[in-house]
Chain A
Amino acid sequence: MDHFPTNWGRPRHEGFDAYGTFPIHQRPTNGPKDAFKEGIERTQQPIVTGTSVLAIKYKDGIMMAADNLASYGSLARFKDISRLHAVGNNTIIGAGGDMSDFQYIQTILDDITTEEFTAQDGHSLGPAEIHEYLSQVMYARRTKMNPLWNALLVGGVKDGKKFLAYVDLLGTTYSASTLATGFGGHLAIPLLREAVEGREDTLTEEEALRIIENSMRVLFYRDARSLNKYQVAIVTEAGVKISESLKVETSWSFAEGIRGYGAQTQ
């Protein structure tokens, strides 16, 4: 049964009336459609985004930080978003870029860790395995020209070994004792390298925290898509801990002394 009344009493297809012997107005076509006629459009752009993630190695393990902001373009849209996510007991991931893609990544990671848990075979996924898996997913998606629009840091400790690595929407991976995504790569990395390189096995938790705090402050001063509210995650042999939201302490008194830009007379 054809459910479109305008089709009734008419040729079923233009093919039957190629010369237009009577007028056929616009009506739904019920014939086979070429799904590829307009091509497949899946190249996207990030919509709700997070900015930098920072991470360093220190004496007891890995410390990672990200602020609580998810922006919608230049609008500070969500100010209570956690961009750090624990995967199992040994791994932390932090994400910059598209937050919906990040939520999808959280689901697939939870899926594989649950699957691993239900096997009850004494094995669990560590940071190196999570990072390898993630980079395969990210690379496969970029190869399909349908990327997950993120830059991710994966850190953790397992069997006495510290691990810290990066992966992004292109599937690019690398490892270092200090890592940062987004603006952090420009503003924070020089500070972090200066403070951390060569001291990975001696920095205490308090020292590491101070280094991170300082970098987050620099980022808040200069990155317009950042927030003065952030979380710090710590992964040690004992497990993963994600802190409550912390506040960046700032001081703006120096602004008083700036001359030459405002309405002041001298």
Chain B
Amino acid sequence: MTSIGTGYDLSASTYSPDGRIFQVEYAGKAVENSGTAIGLKVKDGVVLAVEKLVHSKLLVPDANRRIQTVDRHIGLATAGLLADGRNISNRARDEASSYRDIYRSPAPLKAIIDRLGLYVQAYTLYSSVRPFGISTILGGVDENGPSLYVVEPSGVFFGYNGAAIGKGRQLAKTELEKLKLNELSMREAVMEAARIIYLVHDDAKEKDFELEISWIGPESNYTHVHVPKDLFNEAEAQAKAALETFE
């Protein structure tokens, strides 16, 4: 942490002499400490999955969801500060609805991610605000087929075939790379997503976690919804079984 004590890390509106914005990099740390979130773009659609760390047994199951719906055909998963995730999804919903109002058609993902990128980037410009402590995986199916994007705290965004953010991202990426994503069916992708989340969860250090999986594809009538209960249970059981053989 060479930045500490230099005075260049106190504001997002100040560069360090070598051209870095430390506040944005610190925001990245908030993402790294969060439960893993992954996204898979397959032939027919997109699957999102999240390792939601449960910090208290008193919490109501299924509360504080980290996968949210932006529009009928778009969903997002966040890693980082939960409240920032809520803010970003609200913004994304507003953008999607504004696009609908203006063009009278569902928004292409490219349009939403463009605007979301601009929004996140604006929070890296001023001393009066704090950059977003989250990375966001945005997935959906539009007229151009399925697509998957990740927005980082700097406001930069890239398109992916498979994406992973949060604590277990390295291992998750390695696992995603092994998959032939464009050959997977939606159901297979759900199984893989569950398996990867269970694999990357380090139960030596972590508390309990809840698995969250959503999808957008032909089986969900191209709407973004959490996967049906029976499929979810099946995926979770297979993931647990795979973990045993892995160890």
Contacts and interface: CB of A to CB of B under 8 A. Distances in A.
A120 B71 CA distance: 11
Contact of B104 (A107, A115, A117, A120): A107
Contacts of B173: none
A148 to B, nearest CB: 17
Interface in B53-73: 65, 68-72
Contact of B225 (A107, A110, A114, A120): A120
Q: Size range of the interface on B? A: 10 to 19
B72 A111 contact: no
Given A120-B225, A120-B226, A114 B101 contact: no
Contacts of A120: 65, 68-69, 225-226
A114 B69 CA distance: 10
B103 to A, nearest CB: 11
Contacts of A251: none
Contact of B101 (A111, A117, A118, A119): A111
Given A107-B101, A107-B104, A114 B226 contact: no
Contacts of B225: 120
A216 to B, nearest CB: 30
Contacts of A107: 100-101, 104
Interface residues of A, number: 9
B2 to A, nearest CB: 43
A121 to B, nearest CB: 10
B100 A117 contact: no
Interface string A95-128: 0000000000001001100110111100000000
A114 B104 contact: no
A25 to B, nearest CB: 43
B97 interface: yes
Which one of A107, A117, A119, A120 has the greatest number of beta carbons of chain B within 10 Å? A120
Interface in B75-109: 93, 96-97, 100-101, 104
A115 B70 CA distance: 9
Contacts of A111: 97, 100-101
A119 B69 CA distance: 7
Interface of A: 107, 110-111, 114-115, 117-120
6 contacts: A111-B101, A114-B71, A114-B96, A114-B100, A115-B97, A118-B72
Given A114-B96, A119-B69, 9 more contacts: A107-B100, A110-B100, A111-B97, A114-B71, A115-B97, A117-B223, A118-B70, A118-B71, A120-B69
